[in-house]
């Protein structure tokens, strides 16, 4: 998945599924922004050096987003996709509107597929 700038030509972000089922986000110059790794109970977002930035936990009725220290930053009972929720905590994406754009692109492309739940 590529997220392009308003001009339609410039690639801002590349979101790729890796062979092991995990995901990575790169900027338009192929620099790693973060990795999103599958966990038994959801997803874990790690920075390029491997430090945890966030974690998304899915339970039967709740999706919870925690920061790198484990503090809950958001929680919902809505049936939101775990991979989509992980986009909110991509610290390498410099602004919340851009994170929202990546989140919408992921949701439109991958939302409700079993591998992203």
What does pLDDT average to in each consecutive run of 10 residues of the chain (117 residues)?
77 84 87 88 89 86 86 82 71 69 69 50
14 domain residue, yes or no: yes
pTM score of the predicted model: 0.75
Question: How is residue 90 annotated by DSSP?
Answer: -
Question: How is residue 6 annotated by DSSP?
Answer: T
Spatial distance between the Cα atoms of 13 and 98, rounded to a whole number of angstroms: 10
Looking at the structure of the chain, the number of domains it has is 1
Question: How is residue 1 annotated by DSSP?
Answer: -
Task: Kindly tell me the burial class for residue 60, based on how many C-beta atoms sit within 10 Å of its own C-beta (0-12, 13-18, 19 or more).
Answer: exposed
116 domain residue, yes or no: no
117 domain residue, yes or no: no
114 domain residue, yes or no: no
Domain of residue 18, residue span: 2-108
């Amino acid at each position: 998945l590529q997220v392009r700038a308003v001009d339609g030509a410039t690639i801002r972000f590349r979101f790729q599924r890796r062979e092991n089922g995990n995901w990575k986000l790169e900027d338009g110059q192929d620099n790693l922004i973060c990795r999103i790794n599958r966990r038994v109970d959801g997803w874990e977002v790690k920075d390029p050096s491997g430090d945890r930035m966030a974690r998304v936990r899915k339970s039967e009725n709740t999706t919870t987003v925690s920061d790198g220290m484990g503090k809950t930053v958001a929680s919902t009972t809505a049936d939101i996709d775990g991979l989509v929720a992980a986009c909110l905590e991509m610290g390498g994406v410099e602004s919340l509107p851009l994170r929202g754009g990546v989140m919408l692109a992921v949701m439109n492309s991958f939302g409700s597929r079993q591998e992203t739940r």
